Amino acid sequence: MPNDRLRDSAGKRVPADQGKEWLTLGQAAAFLGAAQSTVRKWADGGQLPAFYTPGGHRRFRRGDLEAFLAVPRGGPAARAGVLVVDDDANLREFIRVNLEREGYSVREATSAEEGLRALEEQPPDLILLDVMMPRVDGWEMLRAVQARHGVDAIPVIMYSGKVDEADEAAKRGARAFIGKPFDPSQLLEATKQLLRS
């Protein structure tokens, strides 16, 4: 695509010699390791430079993306990795979007089995784990995490629709328990506290 067809957020034309490699929204999301919806919010909020085609599609310069990655956002949170394990796709997305807004790096797993595989590939700094999942539930995954990595090696926040499981979570070694439906600010605060400690 010719660069001179691109316009910045103020509507000014981008000079033809400015930047050689342009990425689409999907490519930028893959480059940054974030969801497209998150990259869109960063761009629309002015945190990430974006340029627009005549059809209104966002384009990103690779250099701008590299510079964005180089700047820590939100202090230690920008580098902290969180693994969300839940069979509910909508809830996973809700959690991911809210945590990415705060600067956390988030990976998702749709089951305990997938979560354990992700754990072996790259251990996270924190696990958010749903209790109620098919086949292998959250309690079994918690036990497997503790057996492989030690009880206090990776903090785990458990959550469930059964709010009376808080005592059980504490007995089994979870660092926190949140009953669903939960307030996202409560989840974020619990996440930040555990990652600071």
Q: How many angstroms separate the CA atoms of 191 and 179, rounded?
A: 15
- Segment 117-138, tens digit of pLDDT: 988 888 888 999 999 898 889 9
Is the CA virtual torsion 50, 51, 55, 56 positive or negative? positive
- Segment 55-67, tens digit of pLDDT: 888 899 888 888 8
> Which of 157, 182, 154, 183 minimizes the C-alpha distance to 170?
157
Residue 17's pLDDT is: 44
Residues of the chain with CATH 1.10.1660.10: 3-70
The residues with which 108 forms a beta bridge, in sequence order, are 84
Q: What percent of the chain has pLDDT over 70?
A: 84
Residues of the chain with CATH 3.40.50.2300: 75-196
Omega within 30 of 0 (cis) for the link into 181? yes
Domain 3-70 is found in CATH 3.40.50.620: no
Q: What is the mean pLDDT of residues 150-168?
A: 83
Please give the model's pTM, rounded to 2 decimal places.
0.60
CATH number of the 75-196 domain: 3.40.50.2300
Pairing of strands 156-160, 126-130: parallel
Confidence of residue 160 (pLDDT cuts 50, 70, 90): confident
Residue 195's pLDDT is: 78
Task: Look at 83 and 162; give whichever has higher pLDDT.
Answer: 83
